[in-house]
Each structure stands twice: as C-alpha cells, then as structure tokens.
Amino acid sequence: MTSAAIVIEDLIKCVNFAAEKHKNQRRKNPEKIPYINHPIGVAFILTNEAKITDVSVLHAALLHDTVEDTDTSFEEIENLFGKTVRGIVEEVTDDKTLPSAERKRLQIVHAPDSSFEAKLVKLADKLYNLRDLEKSAPEGWSEQRIQEYFEWSRKVVDGLRGTNVAMEQSLDEIFKKRNVI
C-alpha cells in the first residue's frame, strides 16, 4: 500500500471507532443531532479552515470526546492509534470526576501550557461549539447561560492564541458579535 492509502485507512478506522463509541449519544440541542457530527465537524474545521495536515491532530480531533463522554480508555486509544494520538487526546480530556465549575476553571488555567497540537484541537472544538450555540442552544439553556459559555470560551481561547490565524480570526468575529471582547 502507498503511504497515502495507509493514512486514509487509519483515518477511516478512527472515524468508525468514534462513531461506534458515540453511537447512542445525541447533541443537547432540540434537533437531537447525532453526537458524532461534532467530532467529525471539529476534524473538518481543522482540514478545511485551519489547513491542518498533521494526521495525529486529525485523529485526536475525531477521538477528542471519546474518553470524556464514552467508555473509551486512553489505553484503548494508544493500542489502536499510537502514543502521539493518545497524548493529544489526554491533553484535551476534562476530568469528569471534578465538578463542572472546576473543570471549566482548569481549562482556562491549562490552555497556555498545552502542546501546539492540543491547542489546535481545542480551538476547533470551541469554534464548533460556539457556532452550534449561535444556531440552536442546548435544551433548557437560558440566555444568561449561553452568554456565560461565550465569556468562558473567550478566556480559554485567550490562552490558546498564537496557534492558528484562521481559527482565531473566526473565533474573534464570533466574540465581537456577542460583545465578548
């Protein structure tokens, strides 16, 4: 097989793995979109808008919520996709045993110390989620909760800057529209 064929085969294996893991989950918005649309959309922002070709980053984008939100373990990811991908996924995974407010605080604190690869995944994750929020918010979210998510995201993104011009510009336009500047 050519190296291009190996890369494609590995990426399809990864999309399939993420789809299996998220198969019973839906997004929280009223449309109940399949959860897998989110990790695929994050990977697509990275290829299409951020012009990222680092395959480990694309794998990590596809897998970024599997440990946080499904029964997937870091060992499983390492066995199937290698140590580099495992490392990036570990960096972008919140500790779900902590209360939500503490997880949110830690995202702000840890953002500047993240690797370049993890920062790329985090920027794309935030961009996808903020665009999603602009379209239709999760059921039960008040205007205040939506605004707080924008304000918190701004603080996380501030710690991720200097990583990718295209994504940071798109995020800044969203923050400006929301008066979070």
Ligand X SMILES: Nc1nc2c(ncn2[C@@H]2O[C@H](COP(=O)(O)OP(=O)(O)O)[C@@H](OP(=O)(O)OP(=O)(O)O)[C@H]2O)c(=O)[nH]1
Would you say 54 or 68 has its CB closer to ligand X? 68
For residues 167 and 42, give the distance between their C-alpha atoms in angstroms, rounded to a whole number. 11
User: Interacting stretch for Mn ion, rule CB under 5 A, among 50-58, 80-88, 118-126, 140-148?
Assistant: 118-126
In the bound complex, what is the minimum distance in angstroms from residue 37's beta carbon to Mn ion? Answer: 11
For residues 7 and 19, give the distance between their C-alpha atoms in angstroms, rounded to a whole number. 18
Size of the site for ligand X (CB under 6 A): 14
From the list Mn ion, ligand X, none, which binds 179 (C-beta under 5 to 8 Å, kind-based)?
A: none
Tell which one of 47, 56, 129, 147 touches ligand X (CB under 6 A). 129
100 part of the interface to ligand X, by CB under 6 A? yes
Q: Mapped to the 3 state alphabet, what secondary structure does 28-85 carry?
A: CCCCCCECCHHHHHHHHHHHHCCCCCCHHHHHHHHHCCHHHHCCCCHHHHHHHHCHHH
For residues 164 and 118, give the distance between their C-alpha atoms in angstroms, rounded to a whole number. 12
Active-site residue set: 68-69
User: Interacting stretch for ligand X, rule CB under 6 A, among 54-62, 70-78, 110-118, 125-133?
Assistant: 125-133
Whole-number Cα distances in Å, 58 to 47, 85, 112: 8, 9, 21
Q: Mapped to the 3 state alphabet, what secondary structure does 119-138 carry?
A: HHHHHHHHHHHHHHHHHCCC
From the list Mn ion, ligand X, none, which binds 117 (C-beta under 5 to 8 Å, kind-based)?
A: none
138 part of the interface to ligand X, by CB under 6 A? yes
Residue with tokens 């690797």: 115
Whole-number Cα distances in Å, 15 to 43, 85, 127: 10, 14, 20
Tell which one of 60, 67, 124, 133 touches ligand X (CB under 6 A). 133
46 part of the interface to ligand X, by CB under 6 A? no
Would you say 91 or 125 has its CB closer to Mn ion? 125
Binding site residues, Mn ion, CB under 5 A: 65, 125
What residues make contact with ligand X under the rule CB under 6 A? 27-29, 38, 65, 68, 94, 100, 125, 129, 132-133, 138, 149
